[in-house]
């Protein structure tokens, strides 16, 4: 995993292995955003498909 934060992707999901927890930014160059709903209407319908569960602690 890179420790270079992407200043364009702010993210607080510290459980993701791509998250730079100390700064609350993603370290990927880009992320895939998806929805699990057929007709999304609120932000809770939207997911980051690039999420990967962190194996260790932050
Ligand atoms: S991959 Fe998605 S969930 Fe993981 S740190 Fe980046 S933006 Fe956050």
**Structural domain containing residue 3:** 1-58
Model pLDDT, residue 57:
84
The number of folded domains in the chain is: 1
Where does the pLDDT of residue 42 fall: very low under 50, low under 70, confident under 90, or very high at 90 and above? very high
Where does the pLDDT of residue 2 fall: very low under 50, low under 70, confident under 90, or very high at 90 and above? low
Tell whether ligand 1 has an atom less than 6 A from the beta carbon of residue 20. Answer: no
Model pLDDT, residue 40:
97
Stretch 8-24: mean pLDDT:
96
State which H helix or E strand residue 48 sits in. Answer: strand 46-48
Rg (CA), the chain: 12
Stretch 8-26: mean pLDDT:
96
Rounded to the nearest 5°, which phi and psi values hold at 54?
A: -70, 135
Q: Name the residue of 2, 7, 16 to mutate for ligand 1: max ligand atoms within 8 A of Cβ.
A: 16
Tell whether ligand 1 has an atom less than 6 A from the beta carbon of residue 21. Answer: no
């Amino acid at each position: 995993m890179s420790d270079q934060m992407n200043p364009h992707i702010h993210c607080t999901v510290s459980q993701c292995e791509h998250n730079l927890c100390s700064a609350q930014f993603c370290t990927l160059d880009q992320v895939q955003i998806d929805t699990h709903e057929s007709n999304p209407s609120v932000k809770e319908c939207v997911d980051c498909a690039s999420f990967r569960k962190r194996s260790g602690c932050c």
